[in-house]
Amino acid sequence: EKRRILILSCSQTGNTLSVATSLYEQLQAAHAGAEISLVSAADYRSRSLVDEDIVLLLSSTQGEGEPPEEAVPLSKFLFHKKAPDLSRLSFAVLGLGDSSYPKFNQAAKDFDEQFEKLGAKRLFERVDCDLDFSAQADQWRSDIDAHLKTVISTPSVNGVAVAADDTSAVVTESTSTYSKSNPYTAELLTKQRITTENANEIIHYEIDLGDSGITYQPGDSLGIYFSNAESLVDEILELTQVNAKEKVTLADSSETTIKEALIAHLDITETTPQFVRQYAEHLATTANDALSPLLDDAPALSKFIQDRPPIFIFKEYPSELKAQQLHDLFRPLTPRLYSIASSQEEVGEEVHLTVRTVRYANGEKEYQGAASGYLADQLEEGDELKIFIEPNPHFRLPDNAAAPIIMIGAGTGIAPFRAFLQERQINGDSGENWLIFGNQRFTEDFLYQSEWIQLNQAGFLNKYDFAWSRQGKETQYVQHKLAQRASDVWQWLKNGAYIYVCGDAKRMAKDVEDTLIQIISQEAKLSADDAEDYLNELRELKRYQRDVY
């Protein structure tokens, strides 16, 4: 009997999926005698695990050590109190993460440990890849391939025949010849602030796709390549006493000046534990003594770097550096992703964004977020910027145009719902639409207010609730509005509604999920555990989708 190999991809931004796809192609070529499948965790029915033979799981990590959004149902299934015996399957795990975070590759570690705890046989030791994952991932693929050749040469001890289930193979979505590795140079058409001067600065951007052939769907993200502010770079060079013209060697072994490296190649706005550890080595004894207690205390170090960008540390603990030393403190600059705020059916060869400009002060000096500051302060209408589409196949409108949807977002989390409603209106979808939106003040940051009014009058925004956290005596967040409408939420769910959540993962999305579980428990008269299982079933049916960050 053929051995069966399942490659299970648990991906957040696409890196894990790309490695999984490479593994699939490699194993297909090398193991003609095996039945090999590649499946996204979002398309996998977790109960099928008990019938699998060999499982190769690849996972990234998000938030505070959580699995990627698409792998949450799988995680809940494996960690459920009624999790099944998996002693008939063999497994191996690859993690892709970022060692600057305290819970580096935590999701992969958790999957790995739980597989073993449930009786699965370990094929290979877990490998934890860092940001620069290519070499490690390639080696893991080669090692797995070689190991499988010894395993597959022996008869299967599983002996369980599995009929085709309802999982579907991963489909890579392609928008055009342009991609993350080959971005399109677009023109910024419109840049318009949509909040008052007293509120957080939120800007609506419209970008021209020209004749690029780029296509996207509601729910996708736009990747933006950016450069750091020259004023920030000059200040860093001054504080570290480095000559701007000194040459440094980049990660790809090419050479450039340290100033150019800081502007175009390095992430100089995010402090990581590794940054602090490396910088401490260059400090004089007194300053080093102040930082050294933090280096072996992960919680204290995590608290120290919170809201403390590198420029603040250079000011607090000044030190003279060599150009290459300064370069080596920072990670490579990577593009930022923003939820798309438009339907291409509505806007044609354009893409719209809703971006909050991050601004913070140190003394009398103001600083900006890297990408949001680039958009707000370095670009004017008519300027060019490099972009690409990052598909998000796990945040999609229902295939059934008659299905009702509930959209829950706070702040710039409104962006994809503007796209959703544009799409549903232009397609004439008959499904009802309910928007629950929250921000600080009705008078200052009611994003796209006139559009919601027009959609309501046109009959495409059937129900809406707005929560204002700093207006009036009572603090209101979206989860409070949700709780107040508990019976309506349950009725919509019984009518087949899809629920979408977009926004902050740590607070808003977590509070909304807790509230949904409470509503299901209360209205369906279920225990909290059973209500959570019900919500997880909605996830697997793609009726509960989240785009959180």
Which residue would you say has higher pLDDT here, 473 or 358? Answer: 358
pLDDT in tens, 512-537: 999 999 999 999 999 999 999 999 99
Token output for 177:
């010849």
pLDDT at residue 502, as a whole number: 96
Mean pLDDT calculated for residue range 29-56 = 92
Token output for 300:
């204290």
Which residue would you say has higher pLDDT here, 456 or 162? Answer: 456
pLDDT at residue 153, as a whole number: 59
- Top CATH class, 4-153: alpha beta
Cα angle 338-340-345, degrees, rounded to a multiple of 5: 165
> Which residues fall within 8 angstroms of residue 38, CB to CB, at 6 or more apart?
7, 9, 20, 21, 23, 24, 169, 170
**pLDDT class of 297 with cuts at 50, 70, 90:** confident
Query: What residues does 10 pair with on adjacent strands?
Result: 59
pLDDT reading at 383 higher than 60 = yes
pLDDT at residue 175, as a whole number: 45
Mean pLDDT calculated for residue range 335-359 = 97
pLDDT reading at 174 higher than 50 = no
**Residues 368, 377: contact at Cβ < 8 Å?**
yes
pLDDT in tens, 303-313: 899 889 999 99
Instruction: Annotate 249-310 with three-state secondary structure.
Output: ECCCCCEEEHHHHHHHCEECCCCCHHHHHHHHHCCCHHHHHHHHHHHCCHHHHHHHHCCCCH
pLDDT reading at 544 higher than 90 = yes
Mean pLDDT calculated for residue range 79-87 = 92
pLDDT at residue 161, as a whole number: 29
pLDDT in tens, 319-333: 999 999 999 999 999
**pLDDT class of 493 with cuts at 50, 70, 90:** very high
Query: What residues does 257 pair with on adjacent strands?
Result: 247
> Which residues fall within 8 angstroms of residue 447, CB to CB, at 6 or more apart?
194, 195, 202, 354, 411, 412, 414, 437, 439
> Which residues fall within 8 angstroms of residue 324, CB to CB, at 6 or more apart?
248, 249
- Lowest mean pLDDT, pick from 4-13, 37-46, 96-105, 123-132: 96-105
User: What CATH superfamily is the domain 184-222+337-390?
Assistant: Translation factors (2.40.30.10)
Q: Tell which residue, 503, 333, 474, has the closest CA to residue 409.
A: 503
- Return the C-alpha torsion angle 47, 53, 58, 61, nearest 10: 40
- Lowest mean pLDDT, pick from 25-39, 274-288, 365-379, 398-412: 274-288
Which residue would you say has higher pLDDT here, 340 or 31? Answer: 340
pLDDT at residue 163, as a whole number: 29
Mean pLDDT calculated for residue range 210-220 = 96
For the domain covering 405-548, report its CATH number.
Answer: 3.40.50.80
For residue 47, what are the CA distances in angstroms to 71, 151, 231, 354?
A: 13, 25, 55, 39
Mean pLDDT calculated for residue range 415-420 = 98
Gap between the Cα atoms of 55 and 64, Å rounded: 25
* Beta strand ranges found along 61-179 (DSSP E): 90-96, 121-122, 127-129
pLDDT reading at 261 higher than 60 = yes
Q: Tell which residue, 224, 301, 314, has the closest CA to residue 268.
A: 314
Residue 282's identity, in one-letter code, is H
Q: 395-412 in b/e burial notation, b at 16+ Cβ within 10 A? A: bbbbeeeebbbbbbbbbb
Gap between the Cα atoms of 433 and 459, Å rounded: 9
Residue 451's identity, in one-letter code, is E
pLDDT reading at 473 higher than 80 = no
Q: Do domains 4-153 and 405-548 have the same CATH topology?
A: yes
* Beta strand ranges found along 107-159 (DSSP E): 121-122, 127-129
pLDDT at residue 287, as a whole number: 66
pLDDT reading at 166 higher than 70 = no
Gap between the Cα atoms of 183 and 207, Å rounded: 14
Half-sphere exposure of 97 (CA within 13 A, CB side): 25
For the chain, give every domain's residue range.
Answer: 4-153, 184-222+337-390, 230-329, 405-548
**Residues 442, 196: contact at Cβ < 8 Å?**
no
**Residues 528, 517: contact at Cβ < 8 Å?**
yes
- Lowest mean pLDDT, pick from 2-6, 334-338, 346-350, 468-472: 468-472
pLDDT at residue 165, as a whole number: 35
Share of the chain above pLDDT 90, in %: 76
pLDDT in tens, 445-461: 999 999 999 999 999 99
Token output for 382:
């008519």
pLDDT reading at 156 higher than 60 = no
pLDDT reading at 365 higher than 70 = yes
Mean pLDDT calculated for residue range 269-275 = 91
For the domain covering 230-329, report its CATH number.
Answer: 1.20.990.10
> Which residues fall within 8 angstroms of residue 15, CB to CB, at 6 or more apart?
60, 96, 133
Q: What is the mean pLDDT of the chain?
A: 91
Q: How many residues does the chain have?
A: 549
- Lowest mean pLDDT, pick from 76-90, 140-154, 356-370, 397-411: 140-154
Gap between the Cα atoms of 254 and 261, Å rounded: 11
> Which residues fall within 8 angstroms of residue 35, CB to CB, at 6 or more apart?
2, 3, 4, 5
pLDDT in tens, 48-61: 999 999 999 999 99
**pLDDT class of 176 with cuts at 50, 70, 90:** low
**pLDDT class of 150 with cuts at 50, 70, 90:** confident
